[in-house]
Amino acid sequence: MSYRRLASPLHAARAGAGCAYCLALACAALLAEHPIMLAAVTLAIAGAGCAAGVGRELRRAALFAIPLAVMIVLVNAFVSRDGLTVLLRLGQLPVLGHTDITLEATAYGAILGLRAVALILCGALYTAAVDPDEVLRLFRRVSFRSALTATLATRMVPVLVRDARRLADAQRCRPGKPPSRLALMRAASSGVLDRALDVAAALEVRGYGSAHRPPRARRPYSRHDVAFAAAAAAIVMLSVGARATGAAPFHAYPSLYSPAGSGVLAIAAALLACALAPFADRRGIG
């Protein structure tokens, strides 16, 4: 998965605004406890991905995230000793000891799992829709080398994937018994080191070694910059506000408490609207 410039409002926004937007969604996922709020955040991220034209990338990330979420639910259900509503009595189990599966532990595991899904999708949205070069430019003024290393690591991923594919193809072309895994590992590591050396040489001759503090780039704020920055601010305010005022109350233990009142529904709808509103304006996105 890598960034590709597409005609979408999120791609058209500056990296700062894009970063803030993704960060705000991640904050909302971390702050939300109420299942409706968390579902709204996940829905907002998925909707933003689809509206930005990176739905496929998010789907691919979800294929990794959903099994992880299921695992979290299972682990929490088996490990947590809290909760009053027993669903299943498993008795003495090796390692785990006396185990009862409770509704509360299962529900809380589901909340944790959903949060993990939301965070992974948010990361996928950032990777696919926010220009890493612009992010590098943003952060290099603070810490140039760290920013460059992070960006290069992202850039090297597709290169190394292609190398691995090439190596696998070459091995398929060998007649007879295939080489051992150890031999292949050694060859692959050696190839990676060669690649790294080549890239390092290229960086040297582009002047990286004597890098000066880069200039501040001045660029007028576009409608999309403003819209995504405003959306980010609104999402953070709604999430922090809901958490601080207890407008979306939730607790799992000792027994589930998750009222689905009009207040919660209104905040969730507002959060969804704020997240998706910047995509309505599609002028100047090409």
Partner 1 sequence: MTSVLRVEHLSYSYPGAERPAVRDLSLEISAGELVVLAGASGSGKSTLLRAASGLVPHFYGGEIAGRVTVAGMDTREHGPGELAFAVGTLFQDPETQVVMGTVRAELAFPLENRGESGSAVARGVEETALALGISHLLDRSTSELSGGELQRVALGAALAGRPALVVLDEPTSQLDPVAGDELISLLRRCNEDADTTIVLAEHRLERCLSAADRVIALVDGEIACDADPADFLRWAALGAPELQTPGARLLAGAGLPAAVGVKPARAALRERGLLPDPRAAGSAPAQGEDRRRGRPRRVTRPLRGRERSAEPALALARVWHELPRGPAILRDASLVLMAGEHVALMGRNGAGKSTLLRHAAGLMRPTRGKVQSAGRVALLLQNPTDYLVHETVAAEASVHSLAAVGLSSAAFAGRNPRDLSGGERQRLALAIVLDDPDGPPAVVCLDEPTRGMDRGRKGELAELLAEMPAAVLVATHDPEFVAAFADRVVLLADGAPIADGPAADVLAGGTYFATETARILGGAGGALRPEEGVALIAGSLQTEAVTAR
Binding site for partner 1 (CB under 8 A): 2-5, 131-134, 136-137, 151-152, 154-155, 158-159, 166-167, 169-176, 179, 183-184, 186-187, 190-191, 194-195, 198-218
Closest CA to 217 of 95, 276, 283, 131: 131
* Contacts for 205 with CB less than 8 Å, ≥ 6 apart: none
Compare residues 160 and 233 and give the one whose CB is closer to partner 1: 160
Q: Which two tokens stand for residue 46?
A: 């998925």
Compare residues 195 and 243 and give the one whose CB is closer to partner 1: 195
Compare residues 89 and 206 and give the one whose CB is closer to partner 1: 206
In the complex, least distance from residue 33 CB atom to partner 1, rounded to whole angstroms? 37
Contact 279, 10 (CB under 8 A): yes
For the chain, the helix, strand and coil percentages under 3-state DSSP, each to the nearest 5: 70, 5, 25
Determine how many CB atoms are found less than 10 A away from the CB of residue 136. 19
Q: What is d(CA 32, CA 191) in angstroms, rounded to the nearest whole number?
A: 45
Compare residues 7 and 93 and give the one whose CB is closer to partner 1: 7
In the complex, least distance from residue 148 CB atom to partner 1, rounded to whole angstroms? 8
Q: Which two tokens stand for residue 157?
A: 């991923």
Compare residues 3 and 21 and give the one whose CB is closer to partner 1: 3
Q: What is d(CA 24, CA 231) in angstroms, rounded to the nearest whole number?
A: 9
In the complex, least distance from residue 276 CB atom to partner 1, rounded to whole angstroms? 25
Q: Which residues is 98 bridged to in the sheet?
A: 92
Compare residues 94 and 215 and give the one whose CB is closer to partner 1: 215
Q: What is d(CA 191, CA 203) in angstroms, rounded to the nearest whole number?
A: 18
Compare residues 146 and 171 and give the one whose CB is closer to partner 1: 171
In the complex, least distance from residue 161 CB atom to partner 1, rounded to whole angstroms? 10
In the complex, least distance from residue 208 CB atom to partner 1, rounded to whole angstroms? 6
In the complex, least distance from residue 170 CB atom to partner 1, rounded to whole angstroms? 4
In the complex, least distance from residue 118 CB atom to partner 1, rounded to whole angstroms? 26
Q: What is d(CA 70, CA 72) in angstroms, rounded to the nearest whole number?
A: 5
Chain centroid, CA 115 distance in Å: 11
How far the first Cα of the chain sits from its last, in Å, is 22
